[in-house]
Amino acid sequence: MTAIPIASVEGAIEFILTPQYSNVTGRKKVGGIDQVIELMLNQLWLTVFALAVALAIALPIGLYLGHRHKWESFALSLGTAGRGIPELILIAFFAAAIGVGFTNVMLALAILGIPPILANAFVGIHQVDRGSVEAARGMGMSEFEILRKVEIPLAIPTLMGGLRSAAIAVVATATIAPYGGYETLGDFIINENVYGENGVLAGAILVALLAVALELTLAGVQRLLTSPGLKLRPA
């Protein structure tokens, strides 16, 4: 068996593109573009679903509390506290307590995504100019209409900021989903003896690229959703 090569960028790129022989599995090859795409898509779906669940739970609550200006300290401290959740232990605990597989990991990730979305939804709505809200109310808009037509559009930058924070946290933790029994790019990183040093580096590069791509996409979405009026600089 050949000696394990030291990790290098060229080696990593090679790993990504073509299947390699592995120390451990002997005959069976690992790596290559097919496996890469498979694991990347796995990580992407995991992220997307988890964020969707987190949005479904956190967004309504955050919007409601923000609109009523209630429970401010709770919403704010949730934002900070949420960042203190130890990801590895969360995944491991879900796996040990509930079980392994896509759904369980996805729920664990959703929990990670809730604090930033909720906190930002609260702050975004809470800080909308009261004058605009009062004017809308005076015009005869229902509370829900006010939220929909006035508060949310004005709070888009902050709301999206929350989603982006959540996305960063979720995609990062989705990397270690293998600990919860679901295969993602983290597999390359965690199992060095299978994939080799080049595999590890390749995994790291791929995760980084995925995360940056996701962030850029969301930034683009934010720009699309932000009303032109908010983007203007004062005359």
Shortest gap between Cβ of 145 and another protein (angstroms)?
33
Q: For residue 176, give every residue at least 6 positions away whose Cβ sits within 8 Å of its Cβ, in sequence order, or none.
A: 87, 88, 91, 186, 190
Binding another protein (rule: CB under 8 A), the pick from 38, 143, 145, 197 is: 197
Instruction: Pick the stretch among 1-9, 117-125, 136-144, 222-230 that binds another protein (CB under 8 A).
Output: 1-9
The phi and psi torsions of 27 (rounded to 5 degrees) equal -60, -40
DSSP state of 142: -
Shortest gap between Cβ of 146 and another protein (angstroms)?
28
CA pair distance 147, 63, nearest whole angstrom? 8
Shortest gap between Cβ of 45 and another protein (angstroms)?
16
- Greatest extent of the chain over all pairs of C-alpha atoms, in Å: 79
CA pair distance 127, 195, nearest whole angstrom? 50
**By three-state DSSP, how is residue 5 classified?**
coil
Residue with tokens 């995944």: 91
Instruction: Pick the stretch among 56-64, 122-130, 151-159, 198-206 that binds another protein (CB under 8 A).
Output: 198-206
Contact 111, 50 (CB under 8 A): no
Query: For residues 110 and 150, which CB has a smaller minimum distance to another protein in the complex?
Result: 110
In the chain, DSSP assigns E strands to 19-22, 26-31
Query: For residues 37 and 81, which CB has a smaller minimum distance to another protein in the complex?
Result: 81
Residues 81-100 close enough to bind another protein by CB under 8 A = 81, 83-90, 92-93, 95-97, 100
Instruction: Tell me how far the alpha carbon of residue 171 is from its chain's centroid.
Output: 4
Q: Contact between 221 and another protein (CB under 8 A)?
A: no
Query: For residues 56 and 81, which CB has a smaller minimum distance to another protein in the complex?
Result: 81
Q: Contact between 22 and another protein (CB under 8 A)?
A: yes
Q: Contact between 24 and another protein (CB under 8 A)?
A: yes
Query: For residues 45 and 64, which CB has a smaller minimum distance to another protein in the complex?
Result: 45
CB-count exposure of residue 21 (10 Å: 0-12, 13-18, 19+): middle
Instruction: Tell me the two tokens of residue 1.
Output: 């068996």
- How many residues sit in the footprint of another protein (CB under 8 A)? 53
List residues near another protein by CB under 8 A: 6-9, 22, 24-25, 28, 30, 80-81, 83-90, 92-93, 95-97, 100, 168, 171-173, 175-176, 178-179, 181, 183, 186-187, 189-191, 193-194, 197, 200-201, 203-205, 207-208, 211-212, 215
